[in-house]
Amino acid sequence: MKCYYYLSPTLAETQRVSDDLHQSGVDDWFVHIISKNEAGLQRQRLHSGNYLETMDFLREGLLGAACGLVIGLIGAGLLAYFEPFGPDLPVIAYVAVVAVLTLHGAWQGGLLGISSENKKLSHFHDEIEAGKYLILVYAHRNEEEKIHSMMTRLHPEAHFVGIDPAFYNPFREPKHVA
């Protein structure tokens, strides 16, 4: 499933795009809109972007877990080398040190990610802040051409600005078109 990015200038145009996508057979769960105007989206009953799409906690959480794992392995190695609790420390103690530090790193990374915008949206940040609407359309392989041709034909003012072959891969950047 790919994610197509369209940038719409107004809420009214975004509503028309959503209606036409639904008439084309795209389910509501596959159309998300990212905007500063959350109240307008709710008033028009449009699905706003979810936390995975708007925040960077998944990416930062994974990076934090990786850092915690490295620190945990170093800590377990130092614990084994210096033997502050004697030479008969059970293996579970080393595993616990690595696990606790890995989980702590994931927690810290997740907290950092909650407070930051998803890196995939950074290219569109200025447009969203200016009041435009970023429409994310998730499409299966057999629907891609139908959706793209409908958007080009009926909504030329909603510009096709990007495509992401795997949106939930937090380390992959979308391919920018415009």
Beta bridge partners of 75: none
Structure token pair of residue 139: 């499409």
> Where is pLDDT greater, at 42 or 178?
42
Inform me whether the pLDDT recorded for 98 exceeds 80.
yes
The pLDDT mean for the chain works out to 94
- Buried b vs exposed e over 55-82: b needs ≥16 C-beta within 10 Å? bbbbbbbbbbbebbbebbeebbeeeeee
- Buried b vs exposed e over 106-129: b needs ≥16 C-beta within 10 Å? bebbbebbeeeebbbbebbeebbe
pLDDT band at 43 (very low <50, low <70, confident <90, very high): very high
The model's pLDDT over 17-32, given as tens digits with 9 standing for 90+, comes to 999 999 999 998 999 9
Start-to-end C-alpha separation, the chain: 21
CB atoms inside a 10 Å sphere around CB 14: 27
